[in-house]
Structure 1
């Protein structure tokens, strides 16, 4: 989409879906609040969050809707999870985030095999699987990348849909903070 084709969205008609965790998710939430974007942070009983604004605590039944075999997750990401039961709840929440948000924004690191490091990688893989626009800010390269045609392509994304996901690492760098801030400025400024 070129600059001329870009449709300006009204922030108050947009909703950020996230998890409210320390780092990228909390920062997405702070920027959403600053721009007047609605926010939903998915959680579960006993979940420790940094951002407790607009929290939606998922019931056991709702969590089960996002229940994905840990074998499938491990295979798609090419890694094993030592704390499978604890990670399962996080993955169940990520399912609800991606299922509700049309466009996915993640902050982290793209691995050589094209997956994204850590739990953030599951949101990215699920976004790809659901055929959603997926964007990752790689903190080492300090650049945004968009998944197009089965590869990561350098890009400068904007929020283009009224529902979107903001997720990522708890270990946000200065470049990561700046990337989130500039994403909101490009999209709504």
Structure 2
């Protein structure tokens, strides 16, 4: 039997995968912490940690760098900045990162958690992605995505 007291789900509590991860964490008896900030709308409001402006600044990075690294442009860069900053806390606290999205040919992940995947790779943390097109899990081995068997 797994000792679930040793595991914590760090999330942003948004609709979709984050809410589903939270629902399942609760079913399995895992502790859950959802990072948020003033003005942020969440669907899952269990165990919310509101980040201060000072804490958000810890995850600050130029949106030009994010855009270049992700090979995408962000039309509302200032609106997404706090999301990017809060993702830093999720990845920084986590020991292993799981995401749902679409693995792109450039090895980035399209979807709301794409930046979390990139940070996990940068921080050398284990990271797995459920690719919605392939309907399968993949794990980053340091240079490419490999299918989980």
For residue 81 of structure 2, the aligned residue among 69, 85, 88 is 88
Q: How does 1:127-166 map to 2 (within 5 A)?
A: 127-156=120-149
Structure 2 portions without partners, runs of 5+: none
The answer on 1:28 being equivalent to 2:28 is no
> What are the superposed Cα offsets for residues 38-63 of structure 1, whole Å, 9 maximum, x if unpaired?
00000000100000000000000000
Name the residue aligned to 1:104: 97
In structure 2, C-alpha distance between the alignment counterparts of 1:81 and 1:102, rounded to whole Å: 28
Runs (4+) of structure 1 exceeding 4 A deviation are none
Quote the RMSD (CA, aligned, Å).
Answer: 1.0
In structure 2, C-alpha distance between the alignment counterparts of 1:74 and 1:42, rounded to whole Å: 23
Structure 1 portions without partners, runs of 5+: 1-7, 157-189
> 1:33 offset after TM fit, Å?
0.5
Count of aligned residue pairs for this structure pair: 149
- Which structure has more relative contact order (CA 8 Å, sep 6+)? It is 1
The answer on 1:16 being equivalent to 2:48 is no
SS of residue paired to 2:99: strand
Report the TM-score when normalising by structure 2.
0.97
